[in-house]
Amino acid sequence: MRALPLPVLIAFRNVRRNSRRSLLTVLAIAFGLFCLIVFQALKAGLHREMIVSTVGLDAGSLQIHAPGYEANLAVLSPLAAPETVEAVLEEAGITRHARRLKTPALVLAGPKSSSVLLSGIEPEREPEVTFIASRVIEGTYPDEGRGVLISHGLARTLGIGIGDELTLMGQSAFGRPVVRKMPVGGIYRTDLSSFDQTHIFLSLADLQLLLETGDAITEIAASLPVGSELDATRRLRERFGDRYQVSSWQEIAPDVVQLIDLNDATMRLLIGIVFAIVALGIVNTMTMVVFERFRELGVLAAIGTTPGGLIGMIVLEASFLGLFASVLGTLAGGLACAWLARHGLDLTSFTSHNQYFATSHVLRAHLMTRDLIAANLITVATALLAGLYPAWKGSRLSPARAIRHT
């Protein structure tokens, strides 16, 4: 301890001089850091869940269509030369992709009916892009000749089950109405009832046969690591030019991007409010320190300590409070995030019909290293900056008046 520079030694001893006040100040700062760490981790977990639900439910990381394609149009827009698209994807290192054929249709079961979106999928490749295959609760995932995969909610609405027949009505590639009876081969259930009620899956070959499209498809969906979608979309657009329409999940689901941006803005506002309160507490503490030590600061000034030296000593004291609080807040926040990552918060009553919670209604914390580092830097910087004003006031004291102060 004696090897430390004198200003550092004095600042450290001043922190210990009034241990109760220093402890309360450290606890207040640590609580602010604790809140920041936990809120940031929950926000990251929320964003992660939103992206996983959006990408894994149906959208994929990116989709490739014919130029001018619009979703849910009754008129099919076949994707030309899909084998060329797949070759380019493989060349770009995108190996997880699947062909699809989609069309709106009407499903009938006895006197009951419902409007749905029929998705013809490649049974062997679609599970690499979406998680529907892992949500089959009865029967099997669709394959050629095995019938359709219908949701548990829609099956209950129509009053049908495994092995029962339903009637599909749609429009062929030539604009003619087509009708076909198919058995229910499987039942799935996600955590998003609105999606379940409107989506039926069957094999790509079966839907091509129903719509008389030959080998035509309407899209290729691909799955990529989170964060690489925009760069991959840009590179594919440069490669394809105007021959194909390439869309990232951010363009397919702009509402998700806007919600993430809104959450980030709200978090920045919350951080500002919390640390403004923390800063006021530090300013109050350090101002009291300065007024209590008028005579001490006057003596230091009288023996030759410069105003800059006084400022440095007081700012160091505030920084020590911030550092101690940083350690305490990080430990508490890290433990809380570890518990929340393991157990999570059950939000079923708030998110059961929310499209951004299709995989799970449990919100789990996801603490990222950069968020932890940023939170600690903000805490220490707040403590340091909050100590500047009291330090400046202390450095302007007249030595003679300060020594006479009682």
Average pLDDT over every residue of 127-139 = 93
> Which pLDDT score is estimated for 285?
74
Q: How far separated are the first and last CA of the chain, in Å rounded?
A: 32
pLDDT score at 10: 67
- How many helices and strands (H and E) does the chain possess? 15, 12
Q: What is the pTM of this model?
A: 0.74
pLDDT at position 173 over 90: no
pLDDT for 375 equals 87
- For the segment 65-87, the average pLDDT, to the nearest whole number, is 84
Flag the least confident range among 80-94, 250-264, 268-282, 385-399.
Answer: 385-399
Provide the mean pLDDT of the chain.
84
Mean pLDDT of 179-186: 94
- Predicted confidence band of residue 192 (pLDDT cuts 50, 70, 90): confident
Mean pLDDT of 91-103: 93
* pLDDT number for residue 405: 54
In this prediction, residue 314 carries a pLDDT of 76
Could you give the percent of the chain with pLDDT greater than 90? 40
Which pLDDT score is estimated for 95?
A: 92
Q: Which of 93-102, 295-304, 312-321 reaches the highest mean pLDDT?
A: 93-102
What would the mean pLDDT of 147-172 be, rounded to a whole number? 93
Tell me what percent of the residues of the chain surpass a pLDDT of 70. Answer: 85
For every residue of 135-197, DSSP letters joined together read: GEEEE----TTS-EEEEHHHHHHHT--TT-EEEEEEE-TTS-EEEEEEEEEEEE--S-HHHHT
Segment 212-224 shows an average pLDDT of 92
Whether the pLDDT of residue 1 is over 60: the answer is no
In this structure, of 161-170, 302-311, 370-379, the range with the lowest mean pLDDT score is: 302-311
Report the C-alpha gap between 95 and 222 in whole angstroms: 8
pLDDT higher than threshold 90 for residue 99: yes
pLDDT at 57: 87
Answer yes or no: is pLDDT of 16 > 80.
no
**DSSP designation for 61:** S
| Res 283: pLDDT | 77
Q: Which residue has the higher pLDDT, 392 or 273?
A: 273
What does the block give as tokens for 145?
Answer: 């000749």
Contact 59, 253 (CB under 8 A): yes
Look at residue 202 and give its three-state secondary structure.
strand
Three-state SS across 204-267?
HHHHHHHHCCCCCCCEEEECCCCCCHHHHHHHHHHHHCCCCEEEEHHHHCHHHHHHHHHHHHHH
Listed in sequence order, the residues at least 6 apart from 19 whose beta carbon sits closer than 8 Å to its beta carbon are: none
Whole-number CA gyration radius for the chain: 32
For tokens 């001018």, the residue is: 68
